[in-house]
């Protein structure tokens, strides 16, 4: 293998970062326009892990809070908007799913809350 044929050591990391940046750039016009755009599932699952949503929420079973499936069923199909759900993520809520309140998630940037909300409305797939 010649020097020109060898892959660059950081090529894998660069590709991963590029995919993440590309996913964000694709989603930005949708968020700005307030329209529904499909978010890549892996990006949203990664966001759910990054912001510790998985400590209280799981894909199909209730833990502390409702499952992602239940959230999608309650608010999907036009019953709620991503903006409304993102606002609930940021501000927290009480009494919507029983006696356990959801604490405010103010540390989640608005754009990420919007992506998470749309992902949930789309069935968290």
83 has pLDDT over 90: yes
22: confidence class by pLDDT, cuts 50, 70, 90:
very low
Provide the 10 A C-beta neighbour count for residue 117.
25
Contact (CB, 8 A) for 59 and 69: yes
Contact (CB, 8 A) for 53 and 41: no
Q: Is the dihedral of CA 29, 83, 72, 78 positive or negative?
A: negative
pTM for the model stands at 0.66
Paired with 62 in beta bridges are 57
Which domains can be identified in the chain, with CATH numbers?
11-121 (1.10.760.10)
**DSSP one-letter string for 4-59:** TTSPPTTHHHHHHHHHHHHHHHHHHHHHHHT---PPPHHHHHHHHHHTTGGGTB-S
According to the model, what pLDDT value does residue 37 have?
56
According to the model, what pLDDT value does residue 35 have?
56
- Residue burial 47-56, b: 16+ Cβ < 10 Å; e: rest: bbeebebeee
According to the model, what pLDDT value does residue 125 have?
82
């Amino acid at each position: 293998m010649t020097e020109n044929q060898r892959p660059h050591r950081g090529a894998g990391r660069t590709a991963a970062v590029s995919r993440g940046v590309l996913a964000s750039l694709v989603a930005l016009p949708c968020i700005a326009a307030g329209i529904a755009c499909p978010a890549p599932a892996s990006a949203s699952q990664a966001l759910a892990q990054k912001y510790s949503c998985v400590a209280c929420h799981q894909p199909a079973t209730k833990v502390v809070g409702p499952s992602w499936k239940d959230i999608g069923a309650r608010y999907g199909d036009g019953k709620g908007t991503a903006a409304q759900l993102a606002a609930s993520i940021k501000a927290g809520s009480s009494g919507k799913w029983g006696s356990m309140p959801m604490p405010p998630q103010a540390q989640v940037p608005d754009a990420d809350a919007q992506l998470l909300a749309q992902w949930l409305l789309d069935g968290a797939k």
